Structure 1
Amino acid sequence: MALRACGFIVFRRLASCPPPPDNIQYLLLQTSYGQHHWTPPKGEDDLTTALRETKEEAGFSAEDLQVMEGFLKELHYEVRGRPKEVLYWLAELRDPGTEVTLSNEHQSYRWVRLDDACTLAQHKDMQDTLRAAHRYLEAQQ
């Protein structure tokens, strides 16, 4: 049986320059375990879990986020020889100044533009998901 996780690709729009869509930044968290990889916040099961895990891992509550209707990506990969699937919704941080509060599962965070997010994410499936989220946001402009 596959492991399952769910989370949010959290983004914020900066009011200052540069103009859209370059004013979009994505939140990536660096794990405090394993190879200290960078990932969006995620948890075990469904949208409720994604909200809980985002609150637990980054300090953002459901009230802090606007979930974008029409965007859901499913990733499949292996973790320690076991299949894993992860569902990601896209959510905008309502107040771009809201502070990130990390859990003990992560040691650092960064707000970064798409190119830097893809560099940090390293895994092609995550990079493709970030690019798909960005294309989705560009189409909404």
Structure 2
Amino acid sequence: MALRACGLIIFRRFYAGALASTLPEIQFLLLQTSYGQHHWTPPKGHVDPGEDDLQTALRETEEEAGLKSKDFNVLDGYKKEIIYTVNNKPKTVIYWLAEVKDHNTEIKLSDEHQTFCWLNVEEACKLAKYQEMQEALREAHQFISNK
């Protein structure tokens, strides 16, 4: 049976400059796992029986990052499906794109993760070592930039 997981690519608009008129930097939230190779990904997890994919993404984001659905907006029009192999079995991960409402929103990690960071798209792609994840982050950045 194929593995299936769902999650949210979370981003914020961060104003680094002193002037409010400066363009915001788009930063993505990545979590570092506390198991295995300590890889970096957006919050995601396996679909539980009776859940639809988006319910899974929302639940996993709350469990892994402490973000409740009131803390962010899921953007219409972006849904990315990634398929890769884990232990010689295909795994499908579906991501939606969500923007936190307050760039200072507190992240509360579960014991599945040891740390997190907010990164611009290039920094995020360096940490997310899998090509499929890098492509998803770049596509998400392009989607945000075109809105």
TM-score range relative to shorter protein:
over 0.9
For residues 15 and 99 of structure 2, the distance between their equivalents in structure 1, rounded to whole angstroms, comes to 14
Match of 1:55 in 2: 62
Contact 1:17/1:23 (<8 A) preserved? no
AA aligned to 2:10 is V
Q: How does 1:1-141 map to 2 (within 5 A)?
A: 1-17=1-17, 19-20=22-23, 23-45=25-47, 46-140=53-147
Contact 1:28/1:110 (<8 A) preserved? yes
Larger radius of gyration: 2
AA aligned to 1:105 is E
Q: 1:14 offset after TM fit, Å?
A: 1.1
Partner of 1:101, secondary structure, is coil
State percent identity of aligned pairs.
55
Q: 1:100 offset after TM fit, Å?
A: 0.6
Contact 1:58/1:102 (<8 A) preserved? yes
For residues 47 and 13 of structure 1, the distance between their equivalents in structure 2, rounded to whole angstroms, comes to 23
AA aligned to 1:133 is A
AA aligned to 1:65 is F
TM-score, structure 2 normalization: 0.91
After TM superposition, which residue ranges in structure 1, 4 or more long, deviate above 2 angstroms?
Answer: 15-20
What are structure 2's unaligned runs of at least 5 residues?
Answer: 48-52
Q: 1:138 offset after TM fit, Å?
A: 0.7
